Structure 1
């Protein structure tokens, strides 16, 4: 006869206390902009943008560091989907601070979107209007070390989206990039261009831009939360410049004619209009006709205290005193060598 097994009742376990409610940052702070990522970050992109559909919000001025410093090399790659620009510096790379950012964000890469004609091509529409193209400049939070790691965090990546409008004259900012297209016609090819500092391609601004949160859906099928920034300043390419993009081939040796993403609904998400300053009759502002415009890039403390780290093309940034000190040091070295030579001759 089987021995009955006594049933041991589970001791009553108290449920863990609920986590304390998340403290919402006060409206008007940069922390509140970051908090909105938790509400809107899952929504798809790109979306329509306009002044009337946005919320005015104040932030400190954006600060651009080292964008006038010449890179060691600039590489242009035909990925088979877009034209991609990467650059390397021997020392510190360009970065941004201030504005809506709580932390330093470093420059990562640039790529382009375009269409089959001048009536399409931009990811975003502004004031219900499409434009021939769009240039995306990617930055990532410096503490994450790489863009790949930064994409794993909702505060990791910011993408600056510059509309490329149709102009009657070629845009000199784009000219040195387009010049390299003929060397990367086939997919997966790359070449060196320039090098030129990023300020020769990227329009810089203190204020007056749109910002929203949304998901980047990649060609590999992955989704990442990003901060999207749309400046009111634009690039302005003529028809011939935009046709040069069609000379790039996809992996099947067909011209890349359309690589812009389908427009998504804005839904109930917040689009910030950060620190508006200029005329608000139109959402976009043209670049000044007279180029080059005055640069607003700042030299970082690293370069300012160690000017010898600057590449030769940036020698003009060194103060006159630094030049004199370097000349004096070189002269002392030369004199010492001469004294040694004279002593050996004796």
Structure 2
């Protein structure tokens, strides 16, 4: 299982960094920044790119069954963080792999890794925006579709990946689940460094309490090669992080000696895509509809009886 997780994470780095464009270097600023990704990598110029601005007045409500999170409450046997030169990426080992299904996903998806995007200050940082509002940080939990067997095969398919996006907002106190990670970041300030995380929290600790309300759309990876293979879930509720913890992320150094900050891609055109928002679960919706039908039927019968007695 340990070997499998390592292969998954190494494969994901390959996919995001050098599947197309011959491994061309990309950055978040200058001539290799997001404005130029489309000319450097053909797939970054597609019509289903991510991130996007989610306009809450223009989303379509959908009824889905609740998410099923398998092994999300199981602490991993090992957890490590890597400064990959663009972000802080967290990898885990465990006897069983976390998996997600339900929530409108078409199949079961296996966890690969999670990573972060953040700003140079707390006025910006997230990749997705909601009604134009940008959070100071966004966490992405990357999963690949289990039926495709491997991550390498999944990235060839339109529905190959499922990414759970979690917004982070500033709190006056540290987030306990993020404290071991933030501490480990002090040991990976230079690019390509790894560090073990001392206390292993289960994946559920990095999700908001309310995972029932979320936004859904079809998009892409937000870094080159921008493969349009992602079913995106962006949760409406945020989790917390302190400025002290954020500053540990902002202290990371890229391969050229600069600080890794503002590592987010600007919102991309929605084009003809639909954005959905989850409503009550199908079970709840069904119950509500049954209650509504019962009330309507009872009212109709009362009216009919009154007419008959008149």
After TM superposition, is the score higher than 0.5?
Answer: yes
Residues in 2 aligned to 1:127 and 1:187: alpha-carbon distance in whole angstroms: 34
**1:48 equivalenced with 2:53 (yes/no):** yes
RMSD: 1.8
One of 195, 198, 208 as aligned partner of 2:200: 195
1:210 Cα deviation after fit: 0.4
Question: Which consecutive unaligned segments of at least 5 residues does structure 1 have?
Answer: 1-40, 278-346
8 A contact 1:74–1:87 mirrored in 2: yes
| Equivalent in the alignment of 1:210 | 215
User: Which residue of 1 is the match for residue 156 of structure 2?
Assistant: 152
**Which residue matches 1:130?**
134
Q: Say which SS state the counterpart of residue 58 (structure 2) adopts.
A: coil
Query: 3-state SS of the aligned residue for 2:220?
Result: strand
Pair 1:171 & 2:196 matched: no
User: What's the CA shift for 1:276?
Assistant: 5.0
* Residue 248 (structure 2) aligns with: 244
Task: Decide which of 62, 71, 74 is 1:66's aligned counterpart.
Answer: 71
Q: Is the 8 A contact 1:63 1:206 kept in 2?
A: no
Instruction: Kindly indicate whether residue 78 of structure 2 is the aligned counterpart of residue 76 of structure 1.
Output: no
Give the corresponding residue for 2:102.
98
- Distance across 2 between alignment mates of 1:67 and 1:128: 31
Question: How many residues were matched structurally?
Answer: 235
Which stretch shows the higher mean deviation, 166-175 or 99-108?
Answer: 166-175
Residue 237 of structure 2: SS of its match in structure 1? coil
> Per the alignment, do residues 169 and 50 of structure 1 end up closer, same or farther by CA in structure 2, a change over 3 Å counting?
farther
Instruction: Return the offset for 1:131.
Output: 1.1
Deviation at 1:126, TM superposition (A): 0.9
Closer/same/farther in 2, CA of residues 260 and 208 from structure 1, 3 Å limit: same
Kept in 2, the 8 Å contact 1:154–1:224? The answer is yes
1: distance between equivalents of 2:105 and 2:211? 13
- Does the CA contact (< 8 Å) of 1:42 and 1:225 recur in 2? no
Question: Is 1:253 paired with 2:254?
Answer: no
Counterpart of 1:109 (choices 113, 120, 126) is: 113
C-alpha separation in 1, matches of 2:216 and 2:140? 14
Q: Distance in 2 between matches of 1:276 and 1:60?
A: 8
Compared CA separation, residues 119 and 45, structure 1 to 2 (3 A): same
Measure how far apart 1:224 and its partner are. Answer: 3.1
Residue in structure 2 matching 1:120, options 119, 124, 133? 124
Q: 1:162 aligns with which of 154, 162, 166?
A: 166
Q: 1:225 aligns with which of 225, 229, 234?
A: 229
Residues 275-314 of structure 1 deviation map (CA, whole Å, 9 limit, x = unaligned) = 258xxxxxxxxxxxxxxxxxxxxxxxxxxxxxxxxxxxxx
Q: Provide structure 2 residue ranges, at least 5 long, that are not aligned to the other structure.
A: 1-45, 282-310
Native 8 Å contact 2:52 2:268 kept in 1: yes
Aligned CA distance change for structure 1 residues 243 and 271 (closer, same or farther; 3 Å): same
Higher helix share: 2
In the superposition, the TM-score normalised over structure 1's length comes to 0.64
The normalised TM-score by structure 2 is: 0.71
SS in 2 for 1:241: helix
Cα offsets for 1:233-278 (capped at 9, x unmatched)? 211222222111111110112211221111112233200101258x
Q: Tell me, what secondary structure is at the counterpart of 2:79?
A: strand
Q: Distance in 2 between matches of 1:152 and 1:146?
A: 10
Deviation at 1:170, TM superposition (A): 2.0
Q: Is the 8 A contact 1:68 1:199 kept in 2?
A: yes
